[in-house]
Amino acid sequence: MSCETNVKLFEGLINHNRKGKINHIFQNKINAILLDLYRVNNDNYKQPSFFSTDKFNFYSWSASDHGPRNKGTNKDDLYEYILSLITKSSYEKKKIKDIKLLTFPKVFGFGFNPLSVYFCYNSKNFLVHTVFEVKNTFGDIHHYVLKNTDKKVITQQVLKKLFVSPFYNKKGYYNLYANHTDKKIITSVEYIMNNSTVFFASMNLKEIQFNNLNILKSICKLIVFPGKIWINIHLQAFLLWLKKARIYKIPKNETIKHSFGNHLPKNK
**Complete DSSP assignment for 71-135:** TT--HHHHHHHHHHHHHTTT--GGG--EEEEEEPPEETTB---SEEEEEEE-TT--EEEEEEEEE
Distance between CA atoms of residues 171 and 192, nearest Å: 9
Where does the chain have alpha helices with state H? Answer: 75-87, 212-220, 228-242
pLDDT score recorded for residue 39: 78
Beta bridge partners of 176: 156, 189
Evaluate if residue 267 carries a pLDDT over 50. Answer: no
At residue 45 the predicted structure's pLDDT band, cuts being 50, 70 and 90, is: low
Mean per-residue pLDDT, 127-155: 89
On average, the pLDDT of the chain sits at 88
In a domain, 51, yes or no: yes
The three-class DSSP label of residue 246 is coil
Q: Is 258 helix (H, G, I), strand (E, B) or coil?
A: strand
% of residues, the chain, pLDDT over 70: 93
Domain assignment present for 2: no
Neighbours of 63 (CB within 10 A): 25
17 domain-assigned: yes
Asked if residue 104 has pLDDT above 70, the reply is yes
Which residues have C-beta within 8 Å of that of residue 30, sequence separation ≥ 6? Answer: 11, 12, 13, 14, 104, 203, 223, 224, 228, 229
Q: What is the pLDDT of residues 64-88, one digit of tens each?
A: 999 988 887 888 899 999 999 988 8
Task: Tell me what percent of the chain is helix, strand and coil, each rounded to the nearest 5.
Answer: 20, 40, 45
Examine the pLDDT at 5 and tell me if it is beyond 80: no
Number of domains, the chain: 1
Domain assignment of residue 212, yes or no: yes
- Is 1 a member of any domain? no
Radius of gyration in angstroms for the set of CA atoms belonging to the chain, rounded to a whole number: 18
pLDDT range class, residue 6, cuts 50, 70, 90 = confident
Per the CB < 8 A criterion, the answer to whether 153 and 129 are in contact is no
Give 167-216 pLDDT, tens digit per residue: 988 889 999 999 998 899 999 999 999 999 999 999 999 999 999 999 99
Task: Look at residue 138 in the predicted model and tell me its pLDDT.
Answer: 87
pLDDT recorded at residue 4: 47
**pLDDT (tens digit per residue) in 19-35:** 988 999 999 999 999 99
The pair phi, psi for residue 108, each rounded to 5°, is 50, 40
Residue 132 lies in a domain: yes
The gap from C-alpha 7 to its chain's centroid, in whole angstroms, comes to: 15
Letter for the amino acid at 168? Y
Q: Is residue 96 part of a domain?
A: yes
Could you tell me the residue range of the domain that residue 24 belongs to? 7-267
Confidence check: pLDDT of 141 > 70: yes
